[in-house]
Amino acid sequence: MKFSTFNRTTHKWASIIIALPLLLVIITGILLLVKKQFDVLQPPTQKGIAATPSISFEQILTVTKSVEQANVADWSDIDRLDVRPDKGIIKVRTESSWEVQLDGKTGEILQVAYRNSEFIESLHDGTFFQKNANLWLMLPVALTLLLLLLTGLYLFCLPYYKKWCRNKTQS
């Protein structure tokens, strides 16, 4: 089998194999790029009254526990704290994907909203399907995409190379 035939066959079948995972990555990637423009994907960031946060961690936990949707009993239910001094807020992101935005000075609840962007991120990196899917699914898809790029460049350049060789021998 000639290399060019093998290359074309590899390019065709690799494209078919990764079509669905790649389509998922592209669509979710687009959604993640525009997530701040759509409140349904990521809650808008509110503004607090002071630039320097002054509430304690205990106050943060107490206030967050009072939010029923957040379903927080202790620190293990909290995924992360996102402190935004320039906006005067503290975002409390829970393990259940709820976000509670608190005023960094008073501890007042400014907003409670569900973060759909975390679901989209889990689809994008494959962890929605299984915890290590980013390694056993998305890594092979990325490597296959690299193979497609290389085989595609070869397929694109081959006719030009052959034409160049023909013209060189005729001269």
pLDDT tens digit sequence for 10-39:
888 989 989 999 999 999 999 999 999 998
Name the one residue in this structure whose structure tokens are 């898809």: 141
pTM for this prediction:
0.74
Within 13 Å, how many C-alpha atoms sit on residue 80's CB side?
Answer: 5
Does domain 43-114 correspond to CATH entry 3.10.450?
yes
Beta strands in the chain (DSSP E): 78-84, 89-94, 98-103, 109-114
What's the rounded Cα separation, in Å, for the pair 144 and 129? 20
pLDDT tens digit sequence for 117-170:
989 999 999 999 999 988 898 899 999 999 999 988 988 998 999 899 998 888
Q: What are phi and psi of 87, to 5 degrees?
A: -105, -10
**For the chain, domain boundaries:** 1-40+116-166, 43-114
